[in-house]
Amino acid sequence: MSFAAPVHRLPLAAACCSALLLSACGGSDDDKRLPTLDGAAPIVVAHRGASGYLPEETLEAYSLAIDLGADVIEPDLIATKDGILIARHDPNLAYSTDVASHAEFAARKKTIQVDGETQTGWFASDFTLAEIKTLGAISTDAERPQQYNGAYKIVTFQEIIDLVKARTASTGRTIAVYPETKNPTYHRDIGLPLEDTLIAQIKAAGWNSKSAPIYVQSFEPSSLKYLKSKGLETRLIQLIDADDVNLKTGALTFAAPYDRPYDWLKAGDTRLFSAMVTPAGLTEIKAYADGIGPWKRYIITVKGTLDASGNVTDINGDGKINEADTTSQPATPLIADAHKAGLFVHPYTFRNEQRRLASDYKGDPKNEYLAFYRLGVDGVFADFTDTAIAARNTYLKEMGR
């Protein structure tokens, strides 16, 4: 591993892996039960690795997340032309790689439908793994560091498994992996099913059990049900999406392709993702999954202050209307309802940028984490692992842990 310098520039680094953190993760004070499903400390899931600092879903981003103390690293899985599972959030490589600068691949640019959405770009299913390995990953957020763009390569799921096993051995603490079957219906429709390959790799890793250091997630219920039917015995998580929040009302909005699972759309099921968070929906999920991964706004939404014309007020005066101009609203009963159904709750995604933080968090992202930890979430998906762990340490101290 040649990457090193950015670790030393970060506010929290390997010190996050101190004895204090290990104690917090280990649940040594079982008499001081937390409001999580199992009473243990909530886990910190490094969303696409240390994606707040480095180009996402690269070996360097995952390694940095582990250095920062992540309990779990999270890859999205898509398939190459030759059927290899790689870590990318989108089948469209234009979003997170430098493929557009590779003249040798210019002719592969095309326009297709992905989950009912028209997209133009370069798609992983048209590239062999060897070709994809010539591409560099880029940051997908303009506010985040851009100097590493193109420096790091795309990794396979097998390389992630190998990393997790090696770092578990070298650190002496169990590091888990949290893969997502990304766009599984799309992949199945083009003849590249993800699930069978995933099952084979999990079994080969020796991880096919509820106690193994792995969680498998998907937005599509049929993918999780298929995995279960084919003998996958790991913990399974149903992801729950929405399109946005109406900042005037605080209500979640639902627009394609974020309104319902794509397999529901293809099957003619007209329900929205919101049906999943009802008691009946949670009971339905419990029949095939162990937990839910809801967008965090299902638990705490945000709402702006309206002016005399009924428009959201730009309370921080930056000329933009975003979540920084809102206040967080009282929590919904989703965590309690899910726990009652026997499901753990891992909301996504927590980020540090000021535009993403409600005004009552006072510009400090740790305050948002604390609000969710205090409600009893079982884990969080975080782009900034160090912030999530710092907030967790504060929370555990509050709770006498």
Confidence check: pLDDT of 17 > 90: no
> For residue 4, is it within any domain?
no
Confidence check: pLDDT of 317 > 90: yes
Q: Region 212-241: what's the mean pLDDT?
A: 98
| Mean pLDDT (the chain, rounded) | 93
Confidence check: pLDDT of 3 > 50: no
Q: Region 124-153: what's the mean pLDDT?
A: 97
> For residue 116, is it within any domain?
no
Q: What percent of the chain has pLDDT over 70?
A: 92
Distance CA 126, CA 131 (A): 10
- pLDDT recorded at residue 31: 58
> For residue 13, is it within any domain?
no
pLDDT band (50, 70, 90) for residue 30: low
3-state secondary structure 22-52: HHHHHCCCCCCCCCCCCCCCCEEEEECCCCC
pLDDT band (50, 70, 90) for residue 368: very high
Confidence check: pLDDT of 2 > 50: no
Distance CA 217, CA 182 (A): 9
More confident residue, 18 or 245: 245
Paired residues of 293 in beta bridges: 239
pLDDT digits (tens, 9 = 90+) for 337-355: 999 999 999 999 999 999 9
Q: What percent of the chain has pLDDT over 90?
A: 92
> For residue 373, is it within any domain?
yes
pLDDT digits (tens, 9 = 90+) for 58-89: 999 999 999 999 999 999 999 999 999 999 99
> For residue 312, is it within any domain?
yes
> For residue 386, is it within any domain?
yes
- pLDDT recorded at residue 27: 42
- pLDDT recorded at residue 41: 97
Tallying the residues shown for the chain, one arrives at 401
Element (H, E) at 381: strand 379-382
Q: Domain with 359 in it: what CATH number?
A: 3.20.20.190
> For residue 225, is it within any domain?
yes
Domain count, the chain: 1
- pLDDT recorded at residue 32: 75
Q: Which residue range(s) make up the domain with 211?
A: 40-91+154-398
> For residue 142, is it within any domain?
no
Distance CA 154, CA 132 (A): 7
Q: What is the largest CA-CA distance in the chain?
A: 63
- AA letter at 165: K
pLDDT digits (tens, 9 = 90+) for 178-208: 999 999 999 999 999 999 999 999 999 999 9
Confidence check: pLDDT of 276 > 80: yes
27-36, 218-227, 282-291, 295-304: lowest mean pLDDT where? Answer: 27-36
Q: Region 317-337: what's the mean pLDDT?
A: 97
Q: Region 364-382: what's the mean pLDDT?
A: 98
Q: Region 137-144: what's the mean pLDDT?
A: 96
